[in-house]
Structure 1
């Protein structure tokens, strides 16, 4: 079983094939993030700890502070490799590599990381991406290793179905949830999975274990851990849930 340590928000650390992977690093203290001269997003809680060694950052996207904050950006300069979106890699520089959908990179130890679809809002990618930006999820595989899926900021169950069609059941799914909403975007519809959708994603994936993150520490997240537990209980999957 892959051991996952959750730090709050979208940030989790896990070891896989001898390498240490960190998802969307957010280590700032609570505070406000301005956008266009106005208050944008508000972080409400500090991280639950710090990290001292990371081999690879799996960054779903770099454009929003609730996925990459100031401390997270500083951390990237110390990490040998950041895997992210193609446009994000251009912005972040030579330690970052972009992965398009279904594009893979081989790492030491026989680990393969594949970029997989993610849509940061309701509806079609062509309608969503110009507003919320390009996002990528990840699937990790290797000989003798369990399959791990990291969703990133994805709101599409159709994307999840595409992923399971290619990779089959996964062992561990690290699912971003929290139903974040911005009233002026998409009529206030969730920008990432809500709790019921996270449970449905776990069912679609056939996940032996689901670690649900991205459901605390930010004011625009409208569902928290209690909602996740209730949804997985209703779906008959509570024995496969790890809330971190």
Structure 2
């Protein structure tokens, strides 16, 4: 098992051209704060929604950023041979306005999750947990390579200790586990074609556990966050509830949008590569998280399944525990001791 330590007391800017004198101490004041819909209280951690699949999770002085994408409305990203997409929204905060970031969880190497501006700007020693495909690319840039890239296959784990007082065996730690995901339909001709052209990269989901204990044997999780990543509803996901048990996942960040390539306007000659509203509800029923927060649903013109479709099904089927965040809003939650 890979094992690293991060020290939030050693302040470093998120970007390599940023200066410590100009580094803000905090994220912008949230436009709104949400808590557990039926069991609020004891909140000691938060998730700030930037936009697309970009969130910033804060706990014990550590900030974890997911799938950094900071382009603006009108900017384009490359999504494969001959395929690009235009952003329709602005992020809640700009990349160069971020406070210190300690860790990045990158589900896959795609422009709407790791855009060209992010790739050029992030400091090269920022720890990034990602796929082996993304690691190969990010570490093969010669002198401009990223230097702290860690890759996980599905159900492989790594421990991330948070530097604290010496001798404290119950110090705060993170455990990250790779989760399965399929960014293309499980149809042999489509999978073979994608392998040949390399249009859709391999993707991971994550199980991020916030807890205490310095190693795997002593670690006690106090809160579990399942991040779906860009996946379709596939059989591989059925392994998740088998391993984690019913109602044992506190929060799910679910990537929706029904991403359709090359463009929804070319229907029926298109391919859906992320969950739409119907599949998102299927995943809720499978994983049974205590709370679900949808992300990745309206920021790019390749998203064909709006958030309203998901809301409609959730309401019609009487499903609870869904919290909707707008860009710039936060969700606060309680990590158990």
Alignment of 1:123-202 (within 5 A): 123=186, 127-128=190-191, 130=195, 131-141=199-209, 142=211, 143-168=220-245, 169-183=248-262, 187-202=269-284
**Aligned to 2:289, which of 207, 218, 228?**
207
- Paired with 1:166 and 1:178, the residues of 2 have a C-alpha distance of 27
- Paired with 2:50 and 2:56, the residues of 1 have a C-alpha distance of 8
- Paired with 2:203 and 2:322, the residues of 1 have a C-alpha distance of 25
Deviation at 1:159, TM superposition (A): 2.8
Which residue of the partner structure matches residue 119 of structure 1? Answer: 182
**Aligned to 1:242, which of 309, 319, 323?**
323
- Paired with 1:45 and 1:217, the residues of 2 have a C-alpha distance of 5
TM-superposition CA deviations, 1:91-112 (whole Å, max 9, x none):
1122211111111110013321
Asked if structure 2 preserves the Cα contact closer than 8 Å seen for 1:172 and 1:209, the reply is: yes
| Aligned residue pair count | 242
Asked if structure 2 preserves the Cα contact closer than 8 Å seen for 1:3 and 1:15, the reply is: yes
Pairing 1:21–2:64 present: yes
Pairing 1:61–2:140 present: no
Which residue of the partner structure matches residue 221 of structure 1? Answer: 303
**Aligned to 1:84, which of 116, 130, 134?**
130
Asked if structure 1 preserves the Cα contact closer than 8 Å seen for 2:206 and 2:227, the reply is: yes
TM-superposition CA deviations, 1:11-32 (whole Å, max 9, x none):
1111245532111111012222
TM-superposition CA deviations, 1:127-154 (whole Å, max 9, x none):
5362412111110223241111111111
Q: Which has the larger radius of gyration?
A: 2
Asked if structure 2 preserves the Cα contact closer than 8 Å seen for 1:117 and 1:136, the reply is: yes
Deviation at 1:79, TM superposition (A): 6.1
Structure 1: gaps (5+ residues): none
- Paired with 1:229 and 1:22, the residues of 2 have a C-alpha distance of 26
Deviation at 1:243, TM superposition (A): 2.2
Structure 2: gaps (5+ residues): 1-42, 140-146, 162-171, 212-219, 326-337
Deviation at 1:34, TM superposition (A): 5.1
- Paired with 2:80 and 2:311, the residues of 1 have a C-alpha distance of 36
Q: TM-score, normalised to structure 1's length? A: 0.88
Asked if structure 2 preserves the Cα contact closer than 8 Å seen for 1:8 and 1:216, the reply is: no
Alignment of 1:3-14 (within 5 A): 3-14=46-57
Pairing 1:47–2:91 present: yes
Q: CA RMSD in A?
A: 2.6
Which residue of the partner structure matches residue 313 of structure 2? Answer: 231
Deviation at 1:39, TM superposition (A): 6.1
- The structure with higher relative contact order (CA 8 Å, sep 6+) is 2
Moved over 4 A (4+): 34-39, 124-127, 183-187
Bigger proportion of residues as helix: 1
Which residue of the partner structure matches residue 95 of structure 1? Answer: 148
Deviation at 1:225, TM superposition (A): 2.0
